[in-house]
């Protein structure tokens, strides 16, 4: 497992030093999470970008695992009500959401430590410009060892939660469901 302090310090540097070439959310080419393509077309609005990203994952899920009416009902409500409620709040009271470069598929399988110097290396990125809090979405998934809370608390030492800070956990939960694990099938889907 990567050292939490070293990993989170490097991520904070990546986020703070990166700058979207056009100030928008997305990426100039399609990126993939594993073998699954992501919808990372440029968008000015973080709420719109995230909704499009998630709708793409939902559509691929239904293609692979067949239509599920109850899930479709919940996902439509998520898109129409929950996403705007949580993400639009990030841009109230004079606050803005800056687009940072994120790895977008960071878990222990996409990181390693050097035996020579203990340095942390991350690879197999599904990169795009996003709200930096989305980086920790993968860390919530219980099947990843990086879900240990030490990673999230260390990340908060280097990257303050966005306002409204009290809704960080709700946003993290939202970001975690955009994680694309289609090849793992029904068991992950039903979790």
Three-state secondary structure readout of 54-97: HHHHHHHHHHHHCCCHHHHHHHHHHHHHHHHHHHHHHHCCCCCC
The domain that holds 25 is classified in CATH as 3.90.1200.10
pLDDT confidence band for 65 (50 / 70 / 90) = confident
The rounded percent of the chain whose pLDDT value lies above 90 is 63
- Beta strand extents in the chain (DSSP E only): 32-33, 36-37, 100-102, 111-113, 120-122, 128-130
Q: Average pLDDT in the 21-30 region? A: 96
Rounded to an integer, what distance in angstroms lies between the CA atom of residue 43 and that of residue 30?
14
- The three-point CA angle 59-64-66 to 5° equals 80
The structural domain count of the chain equals 1
pLDDT-above-70 percentage for the chain: 93
Q: 37 forms bridges with which residues in the sheet?
A: 32
pLDDT score of 177: 86
**115-174 tens-digit pLDDT:** 899 889 989 999 999 999 999 988 887 777 888 889 999 999 999 999 999 999 999 999
Q: Does pLDDT of 50 surpass 50?
A: yes
- The three-state secondary structure class of 104 is coil
Give pLDDT, residue 187: 44
Higher-confidence residue of 91 and 63: namely: 91
Q: Who wins on pLDDT, 83 or 114?
A: 83
86-124 in b/e form (b: 16+ CB < 10 A) is bbebbeeeeeebbbbbbbbbbbbebbeeeeeeeebebee
In the predicted model, what is the mean pLDDT of the chain?
89
Q: Which residue has the higher pLDDT, 113 or 52?
A: 52
Token pair belonging to 112: 């390693």
Cα-only R_g, the chain: 16
- Range of 176's domain? 4-190
- Overall average pLDDT of the 14-33 stretch: 94
């Amino acid at each position: 497992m990567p050292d939490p302090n070293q990993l989170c310090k490097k991520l904070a540097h990546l986020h703070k030093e990166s700058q979207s070439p056009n100030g928008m959310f997305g990426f100039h080419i399609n990126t993939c999470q594993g073998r699954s393509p992501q919808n990372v077309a440029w968008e000015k609005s973080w709420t719109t970008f995230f909704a499009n990203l998630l709708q793409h994952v939902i559509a691929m899920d239904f293609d692979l695992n067949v239509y599920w009416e109850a899930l479709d009902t919940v996902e439509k409500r998520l898109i129409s009500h929950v996403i705007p409620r949580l993400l639009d709040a990030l841009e109230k009271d004079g606050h803005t959401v800056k687009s940072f470069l994120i790895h977008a598929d960071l878990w222990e399988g996409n990181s390693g430590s050097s035996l020579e110097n203990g340095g942390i290396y991350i690879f197999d990125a599904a990169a795009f410009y996003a709200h930096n809090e989305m980086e920790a979405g993968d860390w919530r998934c219980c099947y990843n060892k990086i879900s240990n809370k030490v990673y999230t608390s260390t990340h908060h030492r280097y990257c303050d939660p966005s306002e409204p800070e009290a809704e960080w956990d709700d946003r993290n939960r939202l970001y975690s469901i955009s994680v694309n694990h289609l090849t793992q099938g029904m068991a992950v889907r039903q979790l």
